Amino acid sequence: MKILITTDLFTTTTNGVVTSVRNLYEELKEKGHDVRILTLSEGKESYKEDHVYFIKSASLGFIYPDVRMPLSYRSGLIQELIDWKPDVVHSQCEFFSFQFAQRIAKLTGAPIVHTYHTLYEQYVTYVVPSKFIGKQVVRQFSRHRLKKVKMVIAPTSKVEDALREYGVKTEIQVVPSGISLEQHHYRMSKEERSEKRRELGIPENHNVLLNLGRLGTEKNLGELLDYFAEALRHNANLTFMIVGDGPDKENLERKALELGIAGHVIFTGMVEPKEVQKYYQLADVFVNASTSETQGLTYIEAAANGLPLLCRKDPCLNDVIKDGVNGYEYNNEKEFIEKLTDILMNTEWRKEASEQSEKIAESFGKEHFVESVETIYERVSQKS
Q: Which residues are bridge partners to 323 per DSSP?
A: 327
- The CATH 3.40.50.2000 domain(s) of the chain lie at 2-178+365-383, 182-362
Determine the straight-line distance between the first and last CA of the chain, rounded to whole angstroms: 14
Taking 70 as the pLDDT cut, the residues of the chain under it are: 12-14, 62-65, 122-132, 134, 384
Alpha helices in 85-119 (DSSP H): 96-108
Please give the Cα distance from 141 to 118 (Å, whole number).
13
Contacts of 366 (CB under 8 A, 6+ apart): 23, 24, 26, 27, 178, 179, 180, 181
What pLDDT, on a 0 to 100 scale, did the predictor assign at position 129? 55
Q: Phi and psi of 49, rounded to 5°?
A: -125, 110
- Each as own residue / partner, the long-range contacts of residues 159-165 (CB below 8 Å, 24 or more positions apart, any chain) are 159/116, 159/119, 159/294, 159/295, 161/315, 162/119, 163/116
3-state secondary structure 303-372: HHCCCCEEEECCHHHCCCCCECCCEEEECCHHHHHHHHHHHHHCHHHHHHHHHHHHHHHHCCEHHHHHHH
CA distances from 165 to 144, 204, 367 (A): 14, 49, 31
Q: CA gyration radius for the chain? A: 22
pLDDT per residue as tens digits for the range 261-305: 999 999 999 999 889 999 999 999 999 999 888 777 899 999 999
pTM: 0.81
User: 2-178+365-383 adopts what CATH topology?
Assistant: Rossmann fold (3.40.50)
Question: Among positive and negative, which fits the CA dihedral 69, 73, 79, 83?
Answer: positive
Contact 40, 70 (CB under 8 A): yes
What pLDDT, on a 0 to 100 scale, did the predictor assign at position 128? 54
Note the CATH number of domain 182-362.
3.40.50.2000
What pLDDT, on a 0 to 100 scale, did the predictor assign at position 153? 97
What pLDDT, on a 0 to 100 scale, did the predictor assign at position 13? 56
Please give the Cα distance from 314 to 41 (Å, whole number).
35
Q: Which residues are bridge partners to 53 per DSSP?
A: 38, 48
Of the candidates 311, 319, 322, which has an alpha carbon nearest to the alpha carbon of residue 353? 322
What pLDDT, on a 0 to 100 scale, did the predictor assign at position 159? 92
Q: Is 35 helix (H, G, I), strand (E, B) or coil?
A: strand
What pLDDT, on a 0 to 100 scale, did the predictor assign at position 130? 59
Contact 103, 78 (CB under 8 A): yes
Q: Angle at Cα 273 formed by Cα 277 and Cα 39, nearest 5°?
A: 145
Q: Angle at Cα 295 formed by Cα 290 and Cα 296, nearest 5°?
A: 55
